[in-house]
Structures are given as C-alpha cells and as structure tokens.
Amino acid sequence: MKRIVSIVAILVFIAAILFFFRYFRGKGVQNVSFDTIDPENIPRQITEVLPNYRMKEKALVCRINDEIFVVVTRGEKNTAGYEVEIDKITLSVDDGERVLTVYAQYKDPKPGEVTAQILTYPFAVVKTDLDELPQKVILEREYKN
C-alpha cells in the first residue's frame, strides 16, 4: 500500500512540474499586430533584396525608416497556384533573446488542378507595430486547402 501511494505521489509531482513549465513557458508571449502590404506598395528596399531570398523558404525581418517589416518566402515552385499568407505573429523572450514567431499558412494547388507551368516565388510582406528588431525569427508553417 505504501508503495502505491509513493508511485501516485511521484506521478502527481511529475504532472505538476510539467504543468508548471508549460504554464510559465507561455507567459510573456504577446501577439504582434500587423498590416498586410499589397505587392504594389512594398517598399523599394524590400523589392531590391527579395531576389536574394526568393529561392529559400524562410521568414525575414527588416527595418526601413523606423518601421519593421516581416517577409515570408516559400522558395521556387514549378507551377502557379502556390500561395503564402501570414496568419499570426508573436513575440516572446527566451533565455534573454527576443524571439519572433511567424505563423504562415501555405496553400498548394489541388491535385489534378490545371495550373500554368511557370516558375513562381510566392511571398508575403507585412508591416508590424514592433519598435525594435528581434534577435531570432522562427517560421511556423500550416498547410491549408
């Protein structure tokens, strides 16, 4: 009987520790508000450097005239029909570093869908309300139909 009580106590203790770390790890995460930028209104500085990153699938952050922009690129695609949209951006502090997490939704053409056979480089640009650049950027992808 004493053994069962000890095992239950250990399991409760482990569950409490896991809850504690999960609860406090989520503290300090704040949503970052942003506005999507239409392709014709993208700042010139971004359009000049975008060709350097269009082959990669990543999230980039840049400061232009005291405004901070986030760019998500999907890389090179062999057909039309691929899209990317920034769904949410969060800012947290991890080991003293400001970490920006960009949640992007990817859309691919449906199987069997007729698309133009052309190289495309899907990307999305948003302007944030951030005051300073983060030290680290993480891209979280979600595929939608």
Per-residue pLDDT tens over the stretch 81-90: 999 999 999 9
Contact 122, 86 (CB under 8 A): no
Per-residue pLDDT tens over the stretch 22-70: 555 555 789 999 999 998 999 999 999 999 998 999 999 999 998 999 9
Residue 137 lies in a domain: yes
Query: Taking the complete model, does pTM exceed 0.85, yes or no?
Result: no
Which is higher by pLDDT, 27 or 124? 124
Domain count, the chain: 1
How far is residue 3's CA from residue 32's CA, in Å, rounded to a whole number?
50
127: domain range? 29-144
* Bridge partners (DSSP) listed for residue 84: 106
Residue 73 lies in a domain: yes
Residue 17 lies in a domain: no
**In the predicted structure, residue 20 carries a pLDDT above the cut 80:** no
How far is residue 86's CA from residue 43's CA, in Å, rounded to a whole number?
18
What is the phi-psi region of residue 50: left when phi exceeds 0, alpha when psi lies from -120 to 50, beta otherwise?
alpha
Which is higher by pLDDT, 62 or 10? 62
Residue 23 lies in a domain: no
